[in-house]
């Protein structure tokens, strides 16, 4: 999956570190990232290139020996040779550790961007010195990164897997049942509710399969297998899904992509290795 970057290692522990001249820096503008195309790939600006245009910089994380920072730009001006590119562009051509770094940096960018002011009193928030947390110096409010848990569910009925397609989203491929955890629910409650809401089915024997940080939507995805309980007739939620159907193992022709939890779970099912 995307986060599986071994032998590289991701270190998220926060330290109050400043960039050196060669530190790599992310700068975002909405869904765009400041990068240069180079030798068929993409490169990030180094601090020495970005510093004259930056108004603030924050330590993000380290992968192996490489520190990554997040810079805010002062205005419209950007360093020569760089452009604003859709950060999802060419992701699968990027080295996996870089793709993962970019998605994770985007998650943190969104959180910092959306929490510049305290939601309790309106004060201007400040980065805490010891942990990744924003503190309001006026009222003492402490704001931690937003990570929204969501489930992905592989609902099976013997040798059949329930596959879906989402309505009105750019991703047209097959998906599995998915949805956000709601306040007051266990993850298992979310699994049962989403299956009922999206396809009108009951399930039993819910088993955890694995998880995936998904910075693009500030999610932590949790994957579960569940077995159909009772009637297999699908009652589709047409607001949410354009299609849902039971497919036999032999009918599913989806190659492993090594990126998404959904794909990982489909591969687990195809190998007959459900937990």
Q: Which one among 92, 120, 124, 204 touches Zn ion, defined by CB under 5 A? A: 120
Rounded Cα distance, 56 and 70, in Å: 8
Rounded Cα distance, 6 and 13, in Å: 18
Rounded Cα distance, 149 and 214, in Å: 10
Peptide bond before 240: cis, by omega within 30 degrees of 0? no
Q: Which residue has the tokens 């309980």?
A: 229
Is 92 one of the binding residues for Zn ion (CB under 5 A)? Answer: no
Nearest in space to 239 (alpha carbons), one of 207, 268, 198, 269: 198
Rounded Cα distance, 132 and 139, in Å: 18
Binding segment for Zn ion (CB under 5 A), chosen from 42-50, 91-99, 138-146, 207-215, is: 138-146
Q: Which one among 138, 142, 147, 148 touches Zn ion, defined by CB under 5 A? A: 138
Is 118 one of the binding residues for Zn ion (CB under 5 A)? Answer: yes
Is 134 one of the binding residues for Zn ion (CB under 5 A)? Answer: no
Identity of the residue, 122 or 275, whose beta carbon is nearer to Zn ion in the bound complex: 122
Rounded least distance, CB 113 to Zn ion, Å: 18
Binding mask 140-159 for Zn ion (x = CB under 5 A): -x------------------
Is 129 one of the binding residues for Zn ion (CB under 5 A)? Answer: no
Residue ranges that bind Zn ion, judged by CB under 5 A = 118, 120-121, 123, 136, 138-139, 141
């Amino acid at each position: 999956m995307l986060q599986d970057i071994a032998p590289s290692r991701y270190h998220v522990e926060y330290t109050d570190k400043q960039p050196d001249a060669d530190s790599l820096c992310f700068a975002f503008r909405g869904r765009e990232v400041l990068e240069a195309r180079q030798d068929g790939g993409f490169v990030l600006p180094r601090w020495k290139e970005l510093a004259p245009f930056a108004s603030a910089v924050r330590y993000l994380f380290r992968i192996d020996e490489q520190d990554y920072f997040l810079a805010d730009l002062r205005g419209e001006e950007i360093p020569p040779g760089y452009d604003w590119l859709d950060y999802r562009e060419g992701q699968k051509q990027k080295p996996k550790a870089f793709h993962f770094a970019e998605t994770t940096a985007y998650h943190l960018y969104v959180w910092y961007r959306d929490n510049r002011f305290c939601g309790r009193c309106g004060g201007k928030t400040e980065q805490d010195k010891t942990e990744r947390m924003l503190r309001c110096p006026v009222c003492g409010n402490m704001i931690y990164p937003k990570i929204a848990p969501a489930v992905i569910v592989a609902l099976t009925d013997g040798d059949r897997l329930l596959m879906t397609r989402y309505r009105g989203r750019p991703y047209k491929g097959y998906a599995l049942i998915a949805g956000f955890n709601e306040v007051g629910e266990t993850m298992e409650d979310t699994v049962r509710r989403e299956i009922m809401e999206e396809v009108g089915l009951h399930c039993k024997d819910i088993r955890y399969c694995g998880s995936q940080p998904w910075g693009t939507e500030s999610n932590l995805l949790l994957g579960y297998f569940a077995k159909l309980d009772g009637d297999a007739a699908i009652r589709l939620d047409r607001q949410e899904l354009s299609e849902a159907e039971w497919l036999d193992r032999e009918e599913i022709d989806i190659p492993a992509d090594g990126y998404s939890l959904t794909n990982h779970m489909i591969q687990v099912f195809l190998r007959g290795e459900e937990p």
